[in-house]
Amino acid sequence: MSEGTDAASAASTVGGWAKAGRQAGIAGAAIGVVAAGAAAGVAIERLTVGRGMRRKARLALDASGPYGTLRGAPGRAVADDGTELYFEVDEADAISSEDDPALAPGVAESPERTPESRLRRLFGRRAPDPLTVVFCHGYCLSQDSWHFQRAALRGVVRTVHWDQRSHGRSERGRSQRDGSAPVTIDLLGRDLKAVLDAAVPEGPILLVGHSMGGMTMMALADQYPAFVAERVTGVAFVGTSAGKLGEVSYGLPSVGVKAFHRLAPSVLRVLGAQLELVERGRRATADLFAGLVKRYSFGTPSDVDPAVSRFAERLIESTPIDVVAEFFPAFAEHEKTGALPAFDAVPALVLAGDKDMLTPFEHSEAIAELLPGAELVIVADAGHLVMLERPDLMNDQLAELVARVVAAADALRGSGSGTAGGRARGRAARRSSGG
């Protein structure tokens, strides 16, 4: 197929979307504005790189990239509407200095040491039993988006990775499929509780959430404060928000922001009803889609390994457009500022990229203000998928958080306060001291 035919096919598909929008009495102009910046870069690429070559490059990256290949022991939890939620568990295993000489007494700490070896050195022959680190992924992603963090902690500490409803390997939401209930962040919080009950029935929990995953954690605290006080001993909020997402500009000019927020839900609903058309359009406009992913996922796309960029693209494109449409309205309604103090008694990390256009870093700063003991890390030149764009930094911060959580638990046990009541007393003491 020639470049001219390819472009005509893409134009025909976009025209089909516009027609679908007109039939619903709305315009796709706002979403078109979002795509414009990426389209310019794609147009330049088309002048220099043939369509066949681009397709071969994508296939090569898919074949060679190891990202998203880590698997654990599978399990399933059942949500309150019957939806089956898929999770995997990576168990911790002990390792001695005979297995890893870097753990031997007297070996100097090296700045090149990996998060895994640093944690091994901290914990010695034992894993930080019975701590479980639970990873909650974001919108249009899956548990595989934590690939680098999973690799860093693999075998060192028990971890749970789960797929939100309608994402990854989890079942399509039953209450959405039958139209009985919309997606809400509260619903996702109840899903998380079901996963925790099934995968971590006992012991302390460190929750790690990116974007929608962080919001899910807030909804858990809002609905199950006693559970959080008793079981959650640490949290990490990565590129997320406690509310006011209806004010996010997405990098659009001010004139386009209001139109986007007003029209996007309706446009997505229309596109969701045209599933076959949209999926054909995704394939026909693969380069444009890849450009959008780079623009909105990474702060410095040119510095990202092309295989990682393609991995992010695969994660996002695997989410059907009707699922995208079902979840999108929940973010405008999301407001969980009042739930955050439930986490202020435990070690916390709040991390975001300073070029995140989906959940701007100011939202992370607002979260940190409500968690006085949190470590706030704003990553220069990083975007929304900061855990993929800056994996080494993310892993270092996560390793430090695990160490802080274990140290805090050891201190509580030493003082005989290893209960929810003891944590509450510690929180009150910290507040009275201005900490």
Check if the beta carbon of residue 268 is closer than 8 Å to that of residue 324.
yes
What's the pTM? 0.78
Beta strands across the sheet bearing 158-162? 73-78, 84-90, 158-162, 132-136, 205-210, 232-238, 348-353, 375-379
Per DSSP bridges, beta strands 84-90 and 375-379 are: unpaired
330 phi and psi angles, rounded to 5 deg: -65, -30
Question: What is the model's pLDDT at position 75?
Answer: 98
- Contact partners, residue 54, CB within 8 Å, separation at least 6: 45, 286, 287
pLDDT, residue 95, reads: 45
Judge whether 330 and 183 are in contact, CB under 8 Å. Answer: yes
Closest to 271 measured CA to CA, from 76, 26, 4, 10: 26
3-state SS class at 378: strand
Lookup: tokens for 25: 């009495």
Question: pLDDT in tens for each of the 435 residues of the chain?
Answer: 444 444 444 444 444 444 443 433 333 334 443 443 344 343 434 444 455 555 555 556 555 568 999 999 999 999 999 999 999 999 998 544 344 444 344 434 444 456 666 666 666 545 566 899 999 999 999 999 999 999 999 989 999 999 999 999 999 999 999 999 999 999 999 999 999 999 999 999 999 999 999 999 999 999 999 999 999 999 999 999 999 998 887 776 666 666 666 766 666 666 656 666 666 655 555 555 567 788 899 999 999 998 999 999 999 989 988 898 899 999 999 999 999 999 999 999 999 999 999 999 999 999 999 998 899 999 999 999 999 999 999 999 999 999 999 988 888 777 665 544 445 434 433 332 333
- The H or E element spanning position 85 is strand 84-90
Q: Which of 346, 337, 400 minimizes the C-alpha distance to 369?
A: 337
* Nearest CA-CA partner of 388 in 287, 332, 316, 286: 316
- pLDDT tens figures, 203-221: 999 999 999 999 999 999 9
Query: What is the rounded CA–CA span in Å between residue 5 and residue 338?
Result: 54
Instruction: Tell me if residue 114 falls in helix, strand or coil.
Output: coil
Helix (H) or strand (E) segment spanning residue 198? helix 185-199
Instruction: Give the count of alpha carbons within 13 A of 11, CB side only.
Output: 7
What 3-state class would DSSP assign to 64?
helix
